[in-house]
């Protein structure tokens, strides 16, 4: 018999994997929601700040690469980039290797906005982590980094699954 109950984090679950998955997802959603609220004060929507942050990490990417990074369709990215280009925050430049393609770059006007968004993120994370000491914050970052690396390795069978298959 499976027993369902609330755990100490308020997650309704029957086992640790469900509880942990919900906790990670809920925390991410709540942080995004708070960030969205604060970013809107600067006149920036979620879609816009996500594109700006993604481009700040990989300027010169094309729309297909940006769509993959954001986990959306290329046509959706095209519309987002159109609006950011109209706001003079992003520019398209011809790809020297492919006349049909465009490379995406932040404009000088985007950089001060990104700095304001980064400051919002820093304050939000400081607020969220206030109850964790430096060692706990480092441990949390290390564990989440390992979890993300494992999840990103899509085709690899986890060691426990491989052992159970024998």
Q: What is the spatial distance between Cα 55 and Cα 151, in angstroms, rounded to a whole number?
A: 23
Per-residue pLDDT reduced to its tens digit, 24-75 = 999 999 999 999 999 999 999 999 999 999 999 999 999 999 999 999 999 9
Instruction: Tally Cβ neighbours within 10 Å of residue 45.
Output: 13
pLDDT attached to residue 114 = 96
User: What are the respective helix, strand and coil percentages of the chain, to the nearest 5?
Assistant: 60, 10, 25
Q: Which domains does the chain have, with CATH numbers?
A: 28-152 (1.10.10.10)
Q: Within a 10 A sphere around the Cβ of 87, how many other Cβ atoms? A: 15
Enumerate long-range contacts of 92-100, CB under 8 Å, 24 or more apart: 95/62
């Amino acid at each position: 018999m499976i027993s369902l109950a609330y755990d100490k984090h308020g997650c309704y679950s029957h086992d640790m994997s469900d509880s942990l998955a919900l906790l990670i997802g809920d925390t991410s959603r709540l942080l995004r929601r708070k960030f969205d609220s604060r970013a809107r004060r600067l006149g920036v929507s979620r879609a816009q700040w996500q594109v700006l942050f993604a481009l700040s990490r990989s300027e010169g990417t094309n729309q297909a690469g940006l769509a993959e990074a954001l986990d959306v369709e290329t046509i959706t990215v095209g519309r987002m980039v159109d609006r950011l280009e109209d706001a003079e925050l992003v520019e398209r430049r011809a790809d020297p290797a492919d006349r049909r393609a465009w490379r995406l770059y932040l404009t000088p006007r985007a950089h001060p906005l990104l700095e304001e968004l980064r400051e919002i993120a820093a304050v939000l994370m400081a607020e969220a982590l206030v109850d964790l000491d430096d060692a706990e914050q480092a441990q949390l970052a290390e564990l989440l980094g390992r979890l993300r690396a494992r999840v990103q390795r899509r085709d690899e069978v986890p060691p426990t699954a491989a052992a159970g298959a024998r």
